Chain A
Amino acid sequence: MRDDSRPHAAAWWLWAAGLAVAALRTTNPLILLVLGAVVACVTVARLPDDQARRTMRSFVVLAALVVSLRLVLQVLVGQRLPGHVLFSLPSVSLPDWARGVSIGGPVTVESLLVALVGGLRLAVVLVAFGAANALSSARELLRSLPPVAHEAAVAVTVALSFVPELFASVARVRDARMLRGRPSRGLAGIRGITVPVLEDALEHSVTLAASMGARGFGRRAARPSVGRHLLTVGAALLGSILLLLGGYGSLAGSSPLPAPLAMAILGVALLILSTMTSARRAIRTRYRPAPFGLRSVVCGLSGWAPVGAGIVLDAVDPGATAWTPSPLVWPSVSPLLLMGTLLALLPLAVAPAPRHARAPGRRREVVA
């Protein structure tokens, strides 16, 4: 049975998005570390299964790679900031047209710290994205998209299941080549495998299309009037554009756009309108829709607490969420921001711990 007491998939994505936005809004390394720790705590405590654990692990590895790459690049070809020199690399003098780029030269503590903060921000965003992926499947999220996006969601779902299918197909074709004593590696091997796999994929998609058609995919109630159709599509389009611009404006801080927050809110309103008008047309119903209850609301909103705290702090004391390494002082953390950030731990309280009573992997049969 599916466990309906877990927060909705969308709640986890909302939570993770809030943390990612908070990471992009600050340059304070301590706050970034706290954000990372919050994501790690919640994820580790609420991971549903081993598959999710593997997903999360690969994102953490990726985040670590990003930070180290950022540092290495900074040392080799980074911007030269004046300050406390740690060590010097032999420098290469570049011609005039390549001014701005430097190779080697003195490496300062300040420049390393700037790179570290930049890397950390990206790392927190990556880890948050990984957490959303691990805590809720993308499929679950797609299932709960509004009817206007249903067809697109099905296309994505099919594409998602296509990937494991493709691996199986490659394995089958490679086995068959081995049975004929043909190479399965090298250029000839790749060519020999590609064509049958593509044929396989093509046949598969034709069968799938027939199966979906025979099961009523794309059935429609009576055609809507042109006016209503335009309203639906237009509202969706305009809403997305407004949300995008408004979102960018409010994140970028200094933006030439007027009232970015208002634009974002108007965008969301338009999207909701579009969803409602399109919902009247589809005859689709949904099997066991996951409820978006109080738990989900709390869980989703808690992710945005650090952003809220940051906005309030910036309004009271502009520039308080930022930190620069010159002059080289230990970063200070405002208690308000810290509190806000820690509020993102709320899912630990509202989301139930996953049940590990039975391991589904153990009972799997092999399709021999």
Chain B
Amino acid sequence: MIRFDHVSFRYDERWVVRDLDVHVVEGELLVVVGPTGSGKSTVLKLINGLVPHFSGGDVAGDVLVEGRSVMGSSPVELADLVGFVGQDPASSFVAETVEDEIAYAMENLGVAPAAMRRRVEDALDLMSLHDVRSRSVRSLSGGQQQRVAIAAVLASSPAILVLDEPTSALDPGAAEEVLSSLTRLVHDVGLTVVMAEHRLERVLPFADRVLLLDGAGGATIGEPAQVMAASPLAPPLIELGRLAGWEPLPVTVRQARRQSGGISGLLGDAAPPRGVDPAGRVVAKVEDLTVAYGDLKALDRVSATFTTGTVTALMGRNGSGKSTLLGTIAGLLGPTSGVVEVSGQAPRQISAEDRICLVGLVPQDPGLLLYAQEVADECRTADLEHHLTPGTTSGLLGVIADGIDPLRHPKDLSEGQRLSLALSVVLAPRPLVVLLDEPTRGLDYQAKRALCAQIRMLRDSGTAVVMASHDVELVAMVADRVVVLAGGEVIADGATRDVVCHTPAFAPQVAKVLSPQAWLTVDEVATALQEVRR
């Protein structure tokens, strides 16, 4: 189906792929895995020719898609064979309504009107979009937009579907839904799917094979369990398997549960640790907070308090009001009714300059906070703006993330490095409350671990951290308390262990394997095992 025939790709002087020789067979679901910046997107774009035809760079070798040479044809010519869904679906929309967007590719390909009509209905059904069929694509939630983008390429019935991080913007439920629709297509009509993804815990159960890129041009391909055995990137399930010495490594929670008898025996009566009750002082609170856009209530009479030295995670579906709550605490939005207070003052009443000394927000795209041409320059400007002693911000950056070249352009940094830089800029004036909006988007496991360390550091220095996240594993690792929002209302608020372990959507993998015992992370289990062995 797809044959990478000794493909090498170089951008400037850096090898992204070197002598890649892989054959993807029909009806296979291949997951491309690798650290950030290892060239996952490049490998995907090689399949329909967006690389090199849209990007430039040096290519050697060729990719053959059903016998057609990609180097010899343009993406336009391959459009009937390969469907491509990029990282940011919202910026790929051409038409106004959902129906027209889905029909767009078929119109270009000259599909007969009667067939087109039927296939649009099929695509709407497959991605559960019939409720929103005549709505504007721009008015949809992130999860719905992702589903529209997939439906739009599926409708033209390509033989191959290529997806770049299809679940990174989705809440756990929506991600599950998208992935199972894809699996159904793979099983039922023999669609070949190639996707790149950072959140391995979500996609591994569905993968037939995994292509692991090492970031230096090398690649390994094989069965998920076999590739994961030696992978530097591993989801909690694999780490748990390694810890317990399971052979072969479990890829699904079900496999792991079958093998977990061993580890439960080893753990014996060791109980999961109880979180210490945080005894901080309240630095931010909302009371009966309602925020409405027009006649739609994004938040509906929400009350919550945030204390020093606590990490609070906001969870909930796409569009449940998490970002709105963060925006209101940060003073970007005013409340429609109710009270918002940060250290006793309404954030909208404070000047922007003074506000950032109380509350700092890192938005979903941390790059938005960065303006300068160089990292060093960015740090210097931050010092000047906040009247800090020169070197404060760059010192902070050194503590948070070591070894970032101060002469690089912020746009050239990896996602993780860019997040660290944005974080140090926000932290420089020492705000009492730090808000993080979806901080793990685009981060690999190593970067995520580094972020966890940074968050713990903040908590220990007495900062109140509030983060909105879909990433259940991140929440399990660092959050002390979880607030679940649904439809703008608080539906659960409590210690992480109590809230997440009892809902399948929010439970981390370790909790699912070892339930009914409420273990959250591999580290907890490892510590307990050491105790037991001693």
Contacts and interface: CB of A to CB of B under 8 A. Distances in A.
Interface of A: 1-2, 137, 139, 143, 154, 157-158, 161, 164-165, 172-173, 175-176, 178-184, 192, 196, 203-204, 206-219, 283-289, 360-362, 364-368
Nearest to A143: B100
Contacts of A216: 76, 79-80, 105, 108-109, 156
B138 A164 contact: yes
Query: Which 10 pairs across A and B sit closest by C-beta, in order of nearness?
Result: A216-B79, A287-B103, A211-B92, A216-B108, A283-B110, A215-B105, A176-B368, A368-B323, A181-B356, A214-B84
Nearest to A158: B94
20 contacts: A161-B93, A181-B385, A182-B385, A203-B91, A209-B54, A211-B86, A211-B94, A214-B50, A214-B75, A214-B76, A214-B78, A214-B82, A217-B76, A219-B76, A283-B109, A285-B106, A287-B117, A288-B103, A364-B296, A368-B320
B135 A161 contact: no
Contacts of B108: 215-219, 284
Contact of A362 (B106, B295, B353): B295
B54 A286 contact: no
Given A175-B363, A210-B54, A365-B141, A180 B76 contact: no
Contacts of B84: 211, 214
B356 A180 contact: yes
A11 B286 CA distance: 54
Given A284-B107, A285-B106, A368-B323, A361 B294 contact: yes
A33 to B, nearest CB: 36
B523 to A, nearest CB: 31
B332 A368 contact: no
B322 interface: yes
Given A207-B86, A364-B139, A366-B321, A285 B113 contact: yes
A288 B106 CA distance: 12
B105 to A, nearest CB: 4
Nearest to A195: B371
Interface in B303-327: 318-324, 327
B116 interface: yes
A38 to B, nearest CB: 30
Interface in B78-99: 78-80, 82-84, 86, 88, 91-96, 99
Interface in B351-397: 352-353, 355-356, 360-361, 363, 365, 368-369, 371, 382, 385-386
A266 B473 CA distance: 71
A221 to B, nearest CB: 8
A315 to B, nearest CB: 45
A178 B368 CA distance: 11
Contacts of B352: 178, 181-184
B88 to A, nearest CB: 6
A2 B360 contact: no
A213 B363 contact: no
A287 B103 CA distance: 6
A184 B99 CA distance: 38
Nearest to A140: B96
B342 interface: no
A287 B141 contact: no
A173 B91 contact: no
B142 interface: yes
A225 B100 CA distance: 33
A180 B484 CA distance: 28
Contacts of A286: 107, 113
Contacts of A217: 76, 94, 108
Query: Which residue, A172, A210, A214, has most C-beta atoms of chain B within 10 A?
Result: A214
A210 B86 contact: yes
Given A219-B79, A289-B113, A368-B320, 19 more contacts: A164-B138, A172-B365, A175-B327, A179-B356, A182-B385, A183-B352, A210-B75, A211-B86, A214-B50, A214-B79, A214-B84, A215-B104, A215-B108, A219-B76, A288-B117, A362-B295, A367-B319, A368-B321, A368-B322
Given A157-B94, A285-B116, A180 B425 contact: yes
A284 B319 contact: no
Contacts of B330: 179
Contacts of B331: 178
Contacts of B117: 287-288
Interface in B125-176: 133-135, 138-142, 144, 152-153, 156
B373 to A, nearest CB: 11
Contacts of A143: 100
B95 A208 contact: no
A268 to B, nearest CB: 27
B106 to A, nearest CB: 7
Given A179-B356, A208-B92, A287 B100 contact: yes
A284 B371 contact: no
Contacts of B138: 161, 164-165
A213 B426 contact: no
A327 B430 CA distance: 81
B230 interface: no
Nearest to A154: B94
B112 A368 contact: no
B467 to A, nearest CB: 14
B298 A368 contact: yes
B335 to A, nearest CB: 15
A177 to B, nearest CB: 8
A203 B368 CA distance: 13
Contact of A284 (B75, B110, B139, B295): B110
A196 B368 contact: yes
Nearest to A220: B76
Contacts of B107: 284-287
B515 interface: no
B369 A179 contact: yes
Nearest to A137: B96
Nearest to B356: A181
A175 B365 CA distance: 12
B369 A208 contact: no
B134 to A, nearest CB: 6
Given A173-B368, A214-B84, A368-B324, A207 B91 contact: yes
Interface string B9-34: 00000000000000000000000000
B183 interface: no
Contacts of B79: 213-216, 219
Contacts of A181: 352-353, 355-356, 385-386
B153 A215 contact: yes
A215 B77 CA distance: 9
A212 B84 CA distance: 10
B361 A2 contact: no
Contacts of B386: 181
Contacts of B142: 367
B296 A366 contact: yes
B75 A360 contact: no
B134 A2 contact: yes
B414 interface: no
Interface in B174-221: none
Contacts of A219: 76-77, 79, 108-110
Contacts of B111: 285
Contacts of A1: 133-134
A207 B76 contact: no
A176 B110 CA distance: 44
